[in-house]
């Protein structure tokens, strides 16, 4: 079936938008990758070194991005969604409790490291571009850090406009950026075409032989060429695998390789370009315009990771791995496009601290590789598990393909451990902090949920008690929110115990998040008439969908349950966790969970319940 003109225009618009949002991070890697590789070597930058570095960059990008992510990892989509938490949710289906526990631990580490990556990406990307000013004139050196700080503030202040709007704004600019990358590189390759011999992997092999232990430090910088690869997978839900694959194979990948090889050709016949080979690609009159264009591109580069963090945070909240946060949906057409103010301003503050502390992209590069390589190892492991359990790959295929990927990923991760004292500890600390938050929140919620189950107060028993001893019923409707569908809500227990009356119509509402991105319309709603004018309503949502109580009861009308939210009283229980003497959680986790619970977004806001119709009942819960 042929595409209409409108379809083609829509596909082209989506393609340009994907280039603007998804490929910004990896698209600005040429700014600093080769420069940092050369900075790691005490040797002179001779023919053998340059050819070896280029060979390693080409095969790293080809194997890790083009083969692993584009061909295999993008296949692991959870109903169209990607990212570490989506992959975790997909992997945990059908596993044994022990396997699920291991997968959860690995997935949480991967998610935490991605947050560490998201902090560093804006800082190093913007710094590397603004440093081009020193190529224009050394006198601009004192202005690099202040300019970078101002640009970061502007970047984070426009995030509430949404991924869709930003993609329309950034997409065309990023297409121009990639064309400039390709043309600059192609010009110098034509001047020195024998640089293409570096496509032969033998140059990478000789590089290790000749440079010994120093080759490991340089390999740790080669990984900068593939930073942003994880964003291809994380932003899968924004644009889809087909668009991402086309953009990479036909535009992004060719232009990146041309630029890297162009820098290599320049270094072979132009002494003095080692300090910043990217900006020396342009003639002197074009350096300042190139700095401006590069700065715009690095602002866009940061967008890939930032939008990924927003998506991952929303998924974590819905899956119960993070407390409820304010989440603003920025697109009426695409569910997965969100803005999370708390994360936005947290990332900004940390990025400003990094730029003010490190003051150069070369120093900051040491911190960058740890987060990137750690995420890659975890993604490979979880995708391999998925291939073995769900795709039913034979063992020979599993070992040969993912064995290769894992060898590459672990090699990159190992050499980056050498940079731990130089700044590699930063994403580790950030990752450990987020890991502690997510695992503590999940564990605390599980403990409180188990206590509710063990109390024996079920809905069935409550209805039986109503039949045996009918209480006074007052006119009106009452809705009680319950996180566990079959248990008697705490708010109902408290209200009935103190007031000794019930409303004429009682609804027990549970909003359950399933481990899929979206739940089909026909499977969303379950209404059960339990008798005594008590109704159980269970509403299922996916982990990228937004719960809205008003829309839920609009759907209930079609199933015979008429509830007007504006004429209904909503009883909410606000559990106030307190420390206990039991050994359920360690003391530091108890204190952290209590703090998180106190600062979580109110359920009234989260579920979009009319404020004037809410009665909130507090209860102290021992952990």
Taking the mean position of all CA atoms in its chain, how far away is CA 52?
33
Cα-Cα-Cα-Cα torsion 234, 240, 245, 248, nearest 10 degrees, comes to -60
* Helices within 192-252 (DSSP H only): 202-211, 214-222, 229-234, 236-239, 241-247
Q: How high is the pLDDT of residue 169? A: 67
The token duo for 233 is 């997978």
pLDDT digits (tens, 9 = 90+) for 441-470: 888 888 877 766 655 578 888 888 888 888
| 255 or 171, which is more confident | 255
- Model confidence at 9, in pLDDT bands (50, 70, 90)? very low
- Please enumerate in sequence order all residues whose Cβ is within 8 A of that of 530, keeping only pairs 6 or more positions apart, or say none: 459, 460, 463, 536
- 477 pLDDT above the threshold of 70: yes
Strands 338-339 and 328-329 come out as antiparallel
Q: Is a pLDDT exceeding 50 seen at residue 317?
A: yes
Contact 83, 22 (CB under 8 A): no
The segment with the largest mean pLDDT, out of 182-186, 231-235, 515-519, is: 182-186
> Does the structure show a pLDDT above 70 at 1?
no
Distance of CA 188 to the CA centre of its chain: 37
Top-ranked range on mean pLDDT: pick from 188-197, 279-288, 303-312, 559-568: 188-197
Q: How confident is the model at residue 582, as a pLDDT? A: 61
- The pLDDT tens digits for 51-102 are 999 999 999 999 999 999 999 999 988 877 788 888 888 888 777 888 888 8
Q: How confident is the model at residue 486 (pLDDT cuts 50, 70, 90)?
A: confident
Q: What is the mean pLDDT of residues 482-497?
A: 82
Q: What is the pTM of this model?
A: 0.80
Measured CA to CA in angstroms, residue 587 lies from 135, 429, 579, 594, 598 at distances of: 54, 21, 8, 11, 17
Average pLDDT, the chain: 83
- Say which residue the tokens 């409303």 belong to: 503
Q: Which residue has the higher pLDDT, 316 or 42?
A: 316
pLDDT of residue 6: 42
State the DSSP string of 480-543.
EE-SSTTBPPHHHHHHHHHH-EEEEEEEEEEEEE-SSS---GGGSEEEEEEETTEEEEEEEE-T
- Statement: residue 7 has pLDDT above 60: no
Domains of the chain listed by start with CATH number: 5-433 (1.20.1740), 455-622 (no CATH)
pLDDT of residue 580: 65
pLDDT at 3: 39
**To the nearest whole percent, how much of the chain has pLDDT over 90?**
22
Torsion sign (Cα): 584, 589, 595, 597:
negative
- Residue-level pLDDT at 194: 93
- What is the pLDDT averaged over residues 571-588? 71
Q: Would you state the pLDDT for residue 576?
A: 65
With vertex at residue 286, the alpha carbon angle to CA 282 and CA 291, rounded to the nearest 5 degrees, is 85
CA distance 325 to 605: 10
């Amino acid at each position: 079936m042929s595409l209409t003109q409108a379809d083609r225009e829509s596909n082209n618009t989506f393609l340009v938008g994907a280039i603007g949002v998804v490929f910004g991070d990896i698209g600005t890697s040429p700014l600093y990758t080769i420069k940092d590789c050369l900075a790691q070597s005490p040797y002179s930058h001779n023919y053998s070194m340059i050819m070896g570095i280029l060979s390693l960059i080409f095969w790293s990008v080809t194997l890790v991005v083009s083969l692993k992510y584009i061909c295999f990892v993008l296949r692991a989509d959870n109903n169209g969604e990607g990212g570490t938490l989506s992959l975790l949710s997909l992997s945990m289906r059908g596993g044994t409790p022990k396997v699920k526990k291991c997968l959860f631990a690995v997935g949480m580490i991967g998610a935490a490291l991605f947050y560490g990556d998201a902090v560093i990406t804006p800082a190093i990307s913007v710094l590397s571009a603004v440093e081009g000013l020193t190529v224009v004139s050394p006198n601009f050196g004192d202005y690099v850090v202040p300019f970078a700080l101002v640009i970061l503030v502007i970047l984070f202040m426009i995030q509430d406009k949404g991924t869709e709007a930003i993609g329309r704004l950034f997409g065309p600019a990023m297409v121009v950026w990639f064309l400039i990358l390709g043309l600059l590189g192609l010009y110098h390759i034509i001047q020195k075409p024998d640089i293409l011999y570096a496509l032969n992997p033998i140059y990478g092999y000789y590089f290790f032989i000749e440079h010994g232990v120093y080759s490991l430090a340089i390999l740790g910088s080669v990984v900068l060429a593939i930073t942003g690869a994880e964003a291809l997978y994380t932003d899968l839900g924004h644009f889809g695998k087909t668009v991402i694959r086309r953009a990479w194979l036909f535009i992004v990948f060719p232009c990146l390789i041309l630029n890297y090889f162009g820098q290599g050709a320049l270094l072979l016949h132009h002494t003095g370009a080692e300090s910043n080979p990217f900006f020396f690609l342009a003639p002197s009159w074009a350096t300042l315009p190139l700095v401006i264009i590069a700065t715009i591109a690095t602002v866009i580069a940061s967008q890939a990771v930032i939008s990924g963090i927003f998506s991952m945070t929303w998924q974590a909240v819905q899956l119960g791995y993070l407390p409820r946060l304010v989440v603003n949906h920025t697109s009426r057409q695409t569910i997965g496009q969100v803005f999370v103010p708390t994360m936005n301003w947290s990332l900004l503050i940390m990025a400003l601290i990094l730029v003010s502390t490190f003051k150069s992209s070369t120093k900051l590069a040491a911190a960058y590789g740890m987060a990137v390589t750690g995420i890659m190892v975890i993604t490979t492991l979880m995708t391999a598990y998925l291939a073995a359990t769900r795709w039913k790959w034979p063992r020979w295929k599993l070992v040969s393909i993912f064995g290769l990927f894992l060898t590459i990923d672990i090699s990159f991760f190992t050499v980056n451990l050498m940079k731990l004292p130089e700044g590699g500890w930063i994403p580790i600390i950030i990752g450990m902090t987020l890991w502690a938050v997510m695992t503590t929140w999940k564990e605390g919620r599980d403990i409180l949920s188990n206590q509710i189950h063990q109390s024996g107060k079920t809905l069935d028993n409550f209805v039986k008690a109503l039949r045996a001893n009918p209480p006074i019923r007052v006119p009106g409707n009452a809705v009680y929110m319950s996180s566990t569908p079959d248990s008697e809500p705490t708010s109902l227990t408290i209200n009935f115990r103190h007031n000794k009356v019930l409303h004429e119509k009682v609804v027990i509402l549970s909003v359950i998040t399933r481990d899929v991105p979206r739940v089909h319309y026909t499977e969303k709603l379950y209404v059960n008439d339990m008798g005594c004018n008590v109704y159980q309503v269970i509403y299922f949502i996916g982990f990228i969908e937004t719960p809205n109580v008003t829309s839920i009861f609009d759907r209930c009308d079609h199933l015979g349950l008429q509830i007007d939210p504006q004429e209904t009283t909503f009883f909410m229980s606000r559990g106030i966790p307190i420390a206990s003497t039991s050994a359920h959680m360690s003391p530091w986790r108890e204190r952290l969970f209590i703090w998180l619970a106190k600062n979580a977004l109110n359920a009234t806001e989260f579920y979009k319940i009319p404020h004037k119709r809410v009665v909130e009942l507090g209860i102290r819960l021992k952990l």
